[in-house]
Chains A and B, each alone.
Chain A
Amino acid sequence: MISMRINGVSRQFHGDPDMPLLWYVRDELGLTGTKFGCGAALCGACTLHVNGSAVRACVTPVSEADGGEVTTIEGLDSEGNHPVQRAWREHNVPQCGYCQSGQIMSAAALLNENPDPSDDEIVDGMAGNICRCGTYQRIFAAVRTAAQEV
């Protein structure tokens, strides 16, 4: 049996320990804010936090999170008002919105590790997340704004 806390709630998982965390949170727990985009850690749509660090849930086996603390977009802030989320709305970032959970989780982890990133560090930190609508200009601006608040 695998145990973890997801968004502060204790969970026990009895299935195949190789199942990626993405499908556990989406299919079994119904936490659908975390998205499937590539299944190969290439696009970042599935980004969530394990013990505070951003991971690609589509290639992270459930077993790797055993005993850990998992945070999905739904658990980032109880009111949806994390500084990164507020900055996203201030800059009117989303177009289709599908990649934005992953973008926000990547940005939140980036700022957690580096509260005052340089422009290059923002670009490097966010380059793992694809946005097909092309909202990078606003993502970049939103991360800069959020950095002033965290």
Chain B
Amino acid sequence: MLGVQNISRRTFLKSAGVTGALVLGANVSTGSMIGTARGQGNGTSIKPNLFVEISDDGTVTLTCSRSEMGQGVRTGIPMILADELEADWQRVKIWQAPGDETKFDPAGKDQQNTDGSRSTRHHFEIMRQLGAAGRYVLEQAAAKKWGVDPAEVYAKDHRIYHSGTGDWFDFGEVVDAAADIVVPTGDAAPKLKDKSQWKYIGRDMPVVDNYDMSTGGATYGADISVPGMKIAVVARPPVYRGKVKSYDASEALKVQGVEQVIEIPPLADDMPAEFRALGGIAVIGTNTWSVMEGRDRLVIEWDDGPNVTHDSSTYNGELVVAARTGGHVIRDRGNVDEAMGAAARVMEAEYFVPYFIHTPMEPPVAMVDATRMPVKVVTSTQAPNWVRQYVAEALGLEQTDVECEVTLLGGGFGRKSKPDFACEAAILSARIGAPVRVQWTREDEIRHGFYHAASAHRLKAGLDGAGKVTAWHHSGAWPTLIALWAPTMRTGHPLEYGLGLIDTPYNEVPNLRIENGEIDAMIRVGWYRSVNNIQHAFAMNCFANELAEAAGRDPVEFLLELIGDADVMDLTMDGVPEHWNYGDSIEDWPIMPKRLSNVLRVVAEKSGYGKSMPPGHGLGIACHRSFHSYVGCAVHVVVRDDGSLHIPQVDMAIDCGRYVNPEGVKKQMEGAAIYGHSVAMHGQITTTQGAVDQSNFHDYTITRMDDAPLDVRTHIVEDFTHLKPCGVGEPGVPPYTPALVNAIYNATGKRIRRLPIGDQLESA
């Protein structure tokens, strides 16, 4: 953990070229401001640590070292700091940190990579400490000015008060007295506020970038322009790991505004793809339209390579076979074979989920200036230090030779933690000796991405005569995302098992086996909002619903019986000595069946589950734990005569432990329902001879307002807010699809076992 320090160095500012100011922190990094932060005070300021700065005009500048992609992190993280600091939110500005994990990863857990729904849970405690350190410095400074015992002094609402006289200073008025104050550590560290004194944590807060985002003033990666910069688009191999055999650029070079055509070399065959640039032909020029036109005029002959055999039509069948075959038992409780043999009834069903692609509204884009040292990257990235690492490798430099500024992200969803697009810009900038911005088009994004793993699942269960589940057997297969590093790997990886599979929450089932089959990865597989939780939640919630039906039981009661109300589910009892728990310790974030049952009960009650529905209407329910949070989802569907759907209402009950900004939680649940609706209804990437068939929003459909749920009601469960914060950005997505599918069954009696739903109801 970062020590909370206040190091007074008057000389530091002089060396940083700033005069007339006082800085009390080490490693002051000023960098560029984005969003609403428009410059800082002109005079003195103190910086008790890298996350808090107070200027003598009272302006407080708080650091956000996490990437904003719509999840509200530039609001939520500073809220924690401001609360402990006792700052007035109206006088707070946000400064976006560049990539530097030695300074801006205070939790020391993830190199500033903003994914895995972990910003709040990893930073809640340390941000409180850093904010409290700032408050301590201000209180000590005020006590010094008054010549009183610091115990008589307290901070409140941007002022320091003297409790005896009621006198007060504004924050800015004590900055001049703050030099040389040392923030104690260990047991003497500044005390954190009691929960009852929180003024921002737990309260609704609008996002800090609202004004800029509603006036066109917000800056994204695509908006970056520097003097002398060229714009490039790249024609990439249609098949994963394909190469350029030959090309003719003569027509491309005739387009007005096109200046150069350059080949980005392919990777050596034995080098894993990871997040590297995979090669292609770059068209470089003065404006985006010219280079796009130029690219259309390239004539390229490709060597497609070994993945040309990758056809979804056959590969999907291989996935189904792999799921049936299984072979790698990852969790085994009791004796499933014996229990199946003794069961009064054995049920089996298979589920399939295709590849998806992220489609953030801003396609990947990066500006790199490799003509200077350190090399400068400005991009909309989730992972600025991976940008630095891979750009450095592409240029034959050290990571410390590359700096990365982070703009706002026009959506991320996992795509923008993979910096291949920044590598392309770096290679081109170094080659032509000018800054280059590489712009991906929508077609590039859909055809050359990192795809959510397609997967097949065979579920089998034994029921006793009373309709109780005595055995549960889930076997799944998917191409692993770890193949990016280990191309020959054919099984899943523990981190994928941990995404809602090995932790299958049906803790009351006495015999339970989880198995994984083998398949080759023939495309770049990468994480996508909520990752493999999507298919796991879909398969197990839908299968449980089928079992309830077969047993003549109420589906919610049936699920509650499977999950139970144990405090903790301990996988070591099931032959799993350790498992991936979202990168966190199982002690801090245990698997708690009672919390899952709780959200299920809440969402059943809030949605009016059990009420009678008119013909064609259905209510479906599902629940899932992911990223340590527990979410119950109820979808009310109307299936019209023509098979089209309308969603009058969605209820989401989320237990995310300690939350910071309830308004942010609500927005994530609303967005997750709509993201889930795209997954359920439309999402499907297919390949033919190795190439992706889809190209833009006409054939890769995203939910629009006319098919979206527009009444999503979020119920934040308060019962476990004394526990640690858990994820919010992703956990709303997985339970939506099975809730919808179960609702459709409730309305029509038709089971959906293969995504997307698409026109399956129309052909019924």
What residues make up the interface of A, taking CB atoms closer than 8 Å to B?
Answer: 15-16, 19-20, 23, 26-28, 30-40, 42-43, 45, 72-74, 76, 80, 85, 88-89, 92-101, 104, 123-124, 126-140
Q: List 23 interface pairs A-B (beta carbons < 8 Å), by A numbering.
A: A27-B288, A32-B219, A35-B222, A35-B361, A39-B443, A40-B696, A40-B698, A42-B698, A43-B442, A85-B214, A97-B209, A98-B411, A99-B361, A100-B214, A123-B706, A123-B710, A128-B704, A130-B697, A132-B675, A133-B70, A134-B703, A135-B670, A137-B712
Is B410 an interface position by the 8 A CB rule? yes
Asked if A92 meets B696 with Cβ closer than 8 Å, knowing A80-B215, A134-B703, the reply is no
Chain B residues closer than 8 Å to A30, beta-carbon distance = 225
Within 8 A of A (CB), among B695-714: 696-698, 702-706, 708-712
* Complex alpha-carbon distance, A32 and B225, angstroms: 10
Chain B residues closer than 8 Å to A139, beta-carbon distance = 705
> Nearest 6 A-B pairs (CB), nearest first?
A33-B216, A134-B674, A98-B410, A95-B70, A96-B70, A97-B213
Is B362 an interface position by the 8 A CB rule? yes
* Complex alpha-carbon distance, A73 and B218, angstroms: 11
Across the interface, name the chain B residue whose C-beta is closest to A127: B706
Flag if A23 contacts B710 (CB, 8 Å).
Answer: no
* Complex alpha-carbon distance, A32 and B218, angstroms: 9
Asked if A123 meets B705 with Cβ closer than 8 Å, knowing A73-B215, A94-B210, the reply is yes
Is B19 an interface position by the 8 A CB rule? no
Chain A residues closer than 8 Å to B673, beta-carbon distance = 134
Is B56 an interface position by the 8 A CB rule? no
A99 CB, nearest partner CB in chain B, Å: 5
Which listed residue, A26, A74, A88, A132, touches B361 by the CB 8 Å rule? A132
Is B325 an interface position by the 8 A CB rule? no
* Complex alpha-carbon distance, A131 and B706, angstroms: 12
Candidate in B210, B289, B410 with the most chain A CB atoms within 10 angstroms: B289
Flag if A137 contacts B222 (CB, 8 Å).
Answer: no
A108 CB, nearest partner CB in chain B, Å: 11
Across the interface, name the chain A residue whose C-beta is closest to B292: A39
B476 CB, nearest partner CB in chain A, Å: 27
Which listed residue, A28, A33, A42, A140, touches B217 by the CB 8 Å rule? A33
B422 CB, nearest partner CB in chain A, Å: 18
A112 CB, nearest partner CB in chain B, Å: 17
Chain B residues closer than 8 Å to A38, beta-carbon distance = 442, 696-697
* Complex alpha-carbon distance, A27 and B292, angstroms: 13
Q: Which bucket holds chain B's interface residue count?
A: 35 or more
* Complex alpha-carbon distance, A45 and B439, angstroms: 16
Chain B residues closer than 8 Å to A20, beta-carbon distance = 289
Within 8 A of A (CB), among B261-308: 286-289, 292
Chain A residues closer than 8 Å to B218, beta-carbon distance = 97
Is B731 an interface position by the 8 A CB rule? no
B443 CB, nearest partner CB in chain A, Å: 8
Which listed residue, A76, A98, A128, A135, touches B671 by the CB 8 Å rule? A135
A100 CB, nearest partner CB in chain B, Å: 5
Flag if A36 contacts B705 (CB, 8 Å).
Answer: no
Flag if B702 contacts A130 (CB, 8 Å).
Answer: yes
Is B69 an interface position by the 8 A CB rule? yes
Chain A residues closer than 8 Å to B698, beta-carbon distance = 40, 42
Chain A residues closer than 8 Å to B359, beta-carbon distance = 132
B578 CB, nearest partner CB in chain A, Å: 35
Flag if A27 contacts B231 (CB, 8 Å).
Answer: yes
Is B408 an interface position by the 8 A CB rule? yes
Candidate in A31, A95, A101 with the most chain B CB atoms within 10 angstroms: A95
Chain A residues closer than 8 Å to B708, beta-carbon distance = 134, 136-137
Asked if A124 meets B211 with Cβ closer than 8 Å, knowing A32-B222, A96-B68, the reply is no
* Complex alpha-carbon distance, A99 and B214, angstroms: 10
Flag if A80 contacts B361 (CB, 8 Å).
Answer: no
Asked if A36 meets B288 with Cβ closer than 8 Å, knowing A96-B410, A140-B705, the reply is yes
Flag if A33 contacts B362 (CB, 8 Å).
Answer: no
B408 CB, nearest partner CB in chain A, Å: 7
Chain B residues closer than 8 Å to A126, beta-carbon distance = 705
Chain B residues closer than 8 Å to A19, beta-carbon distance = 287, 289
Asked if A45 meets B206 with Cβ closer than 8 Å, knowing A38-B696, A80-B214, A126-B705, the reply is no
* Complex alpha-carbon distance, A80 and B209, angstroms: 13
Asked if A92 meets B207 with Cβ closer than 8 Å, knowing A39-B441, A101-B216, A134-B675, the reply is yes
Across the interface, name the chain B residue whose C-beta is closest to A99: B361
Flag if B697 contacts A43 (CB, 8 Å).
Answer: yes
Flag if B222 contacts A130 (CB, 8 Å).
Answer: no
Flag if A134 contacts B670 (CB, 8 Å).
Answer: yes
Chain A residues closer than 8 Å to B413, beta-carbon distance = 132
Candidate in B225, B256, B409, B704 with the most chain A CB atoms within 10 angstroms: B704
B228 CB, nearest partner CB in chain A, Å: 14
Chain A residues closer than 8 Å to B172, beta-carbon distance = none
Which listed residue, B287, B442, B663, B675, touches A92 by the CB 8 Å rule? B663
Which listed residue, B210, B675, B710, touches A140 by the CB 8 Å rule? B710
Within 8 A of A (CB), among B354-393: 359-363
Flag if A131 contacts B361 (CB, 8 Å).
Answer: yes
A130 CB, nearest partner CB in chain B, Å: 5
Asked if A97 meets B70 with Cβ closer than 8 Å, knowing A80-B214, A88-B214, A131-B361, the reply is yes
Within 8 A of A (CB), among B54-102: 68-72
Asked if A127 meets B214 with Cβ closer than 8 Å, knowing A36-B288, A42-B698, the reply is no
Asked if A32 meets B287 with Cβ closer than 8 Å, knowing A96-B360, A133-B411, A134-B674, the reply is no
Flag if A94 contacts B213 (CB, 8 Å).
Answer: yes
A17 CB, nearest partner CB in chain B, Å: 12
Flag if A36 contacts B667 (CB, 8 Å).
Answer: no
Which listed residue, A32, A39, A138, touches B216 by the CB 8 Å rule? A32
Which listed residue, A16, A34, A74, touches B256 by the CB 8 Å rule? A16
What is the 8 Å Cβ interface bit string for chain B, positions 150-188, against chain A (1 contact, 0 not)?
A: 000000000000000000000000000000000000000
Flag if B72 contacts A95 (CB, 8 Å).
Answer: yes
Which listed residue, B71, B287, B443, touches A23 by the CB 8 Å rule? B287
Given contacts A36-B363, A98-B361, could you give 5 more A-B pairs where the C-beta distance is less than 8 Å? A30-B225, A80-B217, A127-B706, A130-B361, A136-B705
* Complex alpha-carbon distance, A76 and B215, angstroms: 8
A63 CB, nearest partner CB in chain B, Å: 13
Is B554 an interface position by the 8 A CB rule? no
* Complex alpha-carbon distance, A123 and B702, angstroms: 15
